[in-house]
Structures are given as structure tokens and as C-alpha cells.
Amino acid sequence: MRAVLEARRKAAAVRAEELEAELERVRAALADAEEVLRRRVIGLEQYLEALAEADAPAEAVVSQRKPVVPRRAVPHRQDAPGAEVLSVDYQALMAAAVEAGPGGLGARRAAVVLGWDSASASRVEGARARPKRLVERGWLVEEKPGRFTLPAPGQGPGAGRPGGGS
């Protein structure tokens, strides 16, 4: 009887090791897939932003509902009289940054503010691109990685990160 129980224990240990190895392989594949997705989301955002900045005419898709209009670019802070020139989503992010105070606005909170699923990694990455764009344009600063705050009075655009970028 003891030999049977010992054989079962060994078989269970081998199966557990096999499953742990499979789990590690799946985790690595998931991390790779999430990185590819993050890059593609950022690439698409940059492409759309470049189109909007270049004032390239957007190809209208003929629809029975409503026409497609070109995306509105985020103006530079020094070129705008106030936050009211920003789109509704960006105004909501600015208000959330005010509410967050010195702790700063994070990407998950930005996703919630935008009405997106904060449990979805792709949505959180997409939401992270929005405050980053506000940093590039001088509306917010990123003194700590991933924490977006309002600039100090008199602080110029791009002062939140070395080199002014993300």
C-alpha cells in the first residue's frame, strides 16, 4: 500500500512541475503579447497625432449615420487661453489631475476618468498616452514616472521630464 501511495505522490509532483513550467511559458508569452500590443497602441496614437498635426485631409468614410471628422489635436499650452480649448476627454483628465493633487494622476485612474475598463492592460496603456500627450504640450508634468500633475506656477512646457519628452 505504501508503494502505491508513494507512486501517486511522485506522479502528482511530476504533474505539478509540468504545470509550473507551462505556466511560466504562458506568462512569458502573455508578457510578449502585451508588449506588442502596447507598442501598437502607441504607434497608432502617434500616427493619428501626426496626421492631425500635419492637417492632412482625413478620408471621409461614407456612412448613413454621421460623417467622420478629422481628429482635433491637443494645442500647446502657451498657444491656448485655457483648458476649455481641450476636448472633453482631456478636460476630464485635467480635472482628475487637479483632484489627484501632489500624488498625481495615474494611468489606471485616467482610464476610469475616460470611462474605460481599468482592468484591461490595453485600455490602461491607451489611457496612459493621453496624459503623456498633455505633458508633451505643457498642460501636465510627469515628475515621477507614471504620475501626472499640474505644472507649478511659472513652470514651462516640457519641464516635467528631462528632455521634455516621455
What tens digit of pLDDT does each residue of 51-81 get?
777 754 445 444 455 444 445 577 787 777 7
> Could you tell me the sign of the dihedral formed by the alpha carbons of 33, 43, 103, 98, in that order?
negative
Residue range 108-129: mean pLDDT, rounded:
86
How far apart CA 89 and CA 69 sit, in angstroms, is 17
CA angle 155, 157, 158 (to 5 degrees): 105
Residue where one domain finishes, among candidates 73, 91, 109: 73
Domain shared by 88 and 63, yes or no: no
Let me know whether 65 and 86 are in one domain: no
**Domain range holding 96?**
77-164
Most confident among 14-23, 24-33, 75-84, 93-102 (mean pLDDT): 14-23
Say how many domains are in the chain: 2
| pLDDT exceeds cutoff 70 at 43 | yes
Q: What is the pLDDT of residues 128-166, one digit of tens each?
A: 888 998 898 888 998 888 899 888 776 654 444 444 444
Farthest CA pair distance, the chain? 84
Domain co-membership, 19 together with 93: no
Q: Does 92 share its domain with 149?
A: yes
**pLDDT at site 164:** 47
User: What letter would DSSP give residue 147?
Assistant: E
